[in-house]
């Protein structure tokens, strides 16, 4: 099977990446939408997927707004089933200042996104079940569960819209990265990684492809490699 794993378009939190850590935390939104630039990125991504004749049977996205909005924009063209999947959320969970926030309930998701399938685990208590920030170990275990579930997947090709830090954890799991490793699998906004499973386990076919954004960044004058890698700092 093929899993096209894509990071969401630039979020309103990503816009303030260049601030100091303290300034960022003070201004960080709990569940931001994507920015105007993020919308442009997703449209370029969608055109690129179509130009490469990449198809998938279903889109799955995290319950966070930036991932859902990215999925919506892609599906304006693809028109396939979309599922909001609870365990695809960003590392750390739905939290502000390390305090866990439940997030939207099942009914709220159904009212806001009636065309989407909602994960059965999301009910009246919201989608985030802890009163604190998710730990690194909890995140690692969640990544392992996501990979295990994908091993048992019957569909031949799906698109997942996720988040940079959790995508790093998933790829680290696939590659058997040591838990204390300093290596990080960075994804640019809308960067695409293809995971393939031919029956012997997942392997990375290609990683963080954002070639379709190069002209966009040249036009805006942003030094994509140096600036974004220097200021990423795991911010979401």
* Type and span of the H or E element at 53: none
Residue 60 annotated as lining a ligand binding site: no
Please check if 221 is assigned to a binding site: no
**Catalytic, out of 57, 58, 89, 90:** 90
CATH code: domain of residue 142: 3.40.50.1240
Residue 4: inside a domain:
no
Q: Say if residue 228's pLDDT is above 60.
A: no
Residue 50 lies in a domain: yes
% the chain with pLDDT above 70: 91
What pLDDT, on a 0 to 100 scale, did the predictor assign at position 61?
Answer: 99
Average pLDDT over residues 171-195: 94
pLDDT class of 196 with cuts at 50, 70, 90: very high
8 as an active site residue: the answer is yes
The answer to whether residue 57 is catalytic is no
Q: Is the pLDDT of residue 135 over 60?
A: yes
Domain containing residue 112: 9-231
Listed in sequence order, the residues at least 6 apart from 233 whose beta carbon sits closer than 8 Å to its beta carbon are 17, 21
Bigger pLDDT: 19 vs 69: 69
Identify whether 44 is part of a domain.
yes
Element housing 26 (H / E): helix 21-27
Count of alpha carbons within 13 angstroms of residue 202, beta-carbon side:
26
Domain-located, residue 48: yes
Q: Is 90 in a helix, a strand, or coil?
A: coil
Structure confidence by residue, pLDDT tens digits, 2-15: 999 999 999 999 99
Tens digit of pLDDT for each residue in 211-225?
999 766 655 555 544
In a domain, 202, yes or no: yes
For 71-119, the pLDDT digits (tens) are 999 999 999 999 999 999 999 999 998 999 999 999 999 999 999 999 9
- Domain count for the chain, please give it: 1
Structure confidence at residue 180 as a pLDDT band (50, 70, 90): confident
Q: Which of 8, 89, 163, 187 is catalytic?
A: 8
- Residue 134 domain flag: yes
Confirm whether 49 is domain-assigned.
yes
Q: Is 62 annotated as a binding residue?
A: no
| Sign of the four-CA dihedral 145, 151, 155, 157 | positive
Q: Is residue 213 part of a domain?
A: yes
Burial of 108 (0-12, 13-18, 19+ CB in 10 A): middle
The answer to the question of whether 13 is labelled as a binding residue is yes
Under 8 Å between Cβ of 158 and 75: no
pTM of the prediction?
0.90
Mean pLDDT, rounded, of the chain: 92
11 labeled binding residue: yes
Confidence of residue 179 (pLDDT cuts 50, 70, 90): confident
């Amino acid at each position: 099977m093929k899993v096209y794993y894509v990071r969401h378009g630039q979020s309103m939190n990503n816009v303030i990446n260049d601030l100091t850590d303290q300034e960022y935390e003070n201004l960080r939104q709990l569940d931001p939408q994507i920015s105007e630039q993020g919308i442009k990125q997703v449209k370029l991504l969608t055109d690129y997927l179509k130009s490469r004749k990449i198809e998938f049977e279903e889109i799955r996205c995290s319950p966070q707004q930036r991932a859902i909005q990215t999925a919506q924009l892609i599906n304006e063209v693809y028109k396939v089933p979309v599922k909001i999947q609870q365990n695809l959320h960003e590392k750390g969970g739905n939290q502000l200042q390390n305090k866990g926030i439940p997030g939207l309930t099942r009914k709220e998701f159904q009212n806001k996104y009636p065309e989407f399938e909602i994960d059965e685990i999301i009910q009246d208590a919201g989608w985030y079940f802890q009163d604190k920030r998710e730990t690194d170990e909890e995140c690692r275990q969640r990544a392992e569960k996501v990979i295990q579930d994908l091993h048992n997947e019957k569909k031949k090709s799906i698109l997942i819209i996720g988040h940079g830090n959790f995508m790093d954890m998933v790829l680290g799991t696939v590659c058997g990265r040591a838990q204390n490793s300093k290596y990080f699998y960075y994804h640019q906004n809308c960067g695409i990684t293809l995971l393939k499973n031919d029956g012997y386990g997942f392997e990375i076919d290609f990683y963080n492809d954002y070639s379709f954004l190069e002209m966009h960044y040249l036009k805006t004058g942003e030094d994509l490699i140096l600036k974004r890698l220097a200021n990423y700092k795991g911010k979401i």
